[in-house]
Amino acid sequence: TRTRAYSAAISTAAALADTSAIAVEAADAAAAAAAAAAAAAAAAAAAAARTPPQQQQPPSQKLVYPEASREQEIKEMSDFIKLIIAYQAVLGNRPDGLSSRVRVHEVILIVLLITQGALNGAINFPAGLAGILAFCDQLGRRCSGQSGFFKALDTETMALLWQRIKGNRTGKYETFARAMRVRRGNAATGGYFAAQDSGRCKKKRVYKLGRQSLEEMERLRHTLQEFAQQRMQQDFYA
């Protein structure tokens, strides 16, 4: 009986020992897993600390005119140019042989003279007219005064302005350039203007003024001065 009790005690002790060993092994495994997770978290934190924060790119800003506003701007430019040409006819400064239609060289010369400052701030005019065309030298470098050459600064606005003046809603800058070719003739022998068709000048859209353009420019300069004086008098007595 004592032997059986002893054997039972030994068996119980062995079972408990096995249970304790299993528990120890489980505890060791859990500790190892926790240590591995902590190490992984520490590694991730270190990597994040080494990586600079990604800069958020600001949204690109692009000036976009509302369609209605842009349309109104072009209309005001067109109306002003037509008013100048009509006033030129009243003064008798318009050359004989020109019909009532607006000619492309007249538009070009008026824009050039306004850009140069022919109105001298005497009256208000659509500001956009002063940034479309400009006098330049034969290489396309912009001039502060009058010269025998000019270039296009803003082909998009020039195209829209010519569309409005001619009532052609589908025209592009090439339509305006084609109108110039029709009127240019031979600048060297008295035409209105000729394109500089080679090298950088062609790319910069540089044009040469002919004798007829230079003569017409003086008449238009006088027209602008007279127009400005009349408007100032009207404003004074208004």
Q: Does 30 score more than 90 pLDDT? A: no
Round to whole Å and give the CA distance between 182 and 71: 27
pLDDT in tens, 33-43: 666 666 666 66
Residues 175, 155 contacting (CB under 8 angstroms): no
What is the reported pTM? 0.64
How many CA atoms, within 13 angstroms, populate the side-chain half-sphere of residue 192? 15
Q: Does 125 score more than 90 pLDDT? A: no
Round to whole Å and give the CA distance between 220 and 146: 14
> Residue 12: pLDDT band by 50, 70, 90 thresholds?
very low
DSSP for 137-203, please give it: -TTS-B-SS--SEEEES-HHHHHHHHHHHHT-TT--HHHHHHHHHHHH--GGGT-SEEE--SHHHHH
pLDDT in tens, 181-195: 666 555 454 677 776
Q: Which of 132-136, 170-174, 204-208 has the highest mean pLDDT?
A: 132-136
Give the residue with greater pLDDT, 146 vs 174.
146
pLDDT in tens, 152-162: 999 889 989 98
> Between vectors from CA 73 to CA 222 and to CA 230, what angle results, nearest 5°?
30
Q: Does 130 score more than 60 pLDDT? A: yes
Q: What confidence score (pLDDT) does residue 196 get?
A: 60
Count CB atoms within 10 A of the CB of residue 160: 24
DSSP for 26-69, please give it: HHHHHHHHHHHHHHHHHHHHHHHHHSPPPPPPPPP------HHH
Q: Which of 57-66, 136-145, 224-233 has the highest mean pLDDT?
A: 136-145
Domains delineated in the chain: 67-237 (1.10.10.10)
Round to whole Å and give the CA distance between 11 and 6: 9
Over range 51-70, report the average pLDDT.
55
Phi then psi for residue 63, to 5 deg, are: -70, 120
What is the residue-averaged pLDDT of the chain? 72
Q: What confidence score (pLDDT) does residue 35 get?
A: 62
Q: Which of 20-34, 107-121, 187-201 has the highest mean pLDDT?
A: 107-121
Q: What confidence score (pLDDT) does residue 136 get?
A: 92
Round to whole Å and give the CA distance between 89 and 87: 5
Segment among 87-91, 179-183, 220-224 with least mean pLDDT: 179-183
Q: Is 147 left (phi over 0), alpha (psi -120 to 50) or beta?
A: beta
Residues of the chain with pLDDT > 70, as a percent, come to 55
Give the residue with greater pLDDT, 54 vs 191.
191
Buried b (16+ CB within 10 A) or exposed e, 1-27: eeeeeeeeeeeeeeeeeeeeeeeeeee
- Please give the C-alpha separations between residue 195 and each of 59, 115, 146, 236, in angstroms, as whole numbers: 41, 20, 18, 44
Phi then psi for residue 82, to 5 deg, are: -65, -35
Adjacent-strand bridge partners of 207: 150, 195
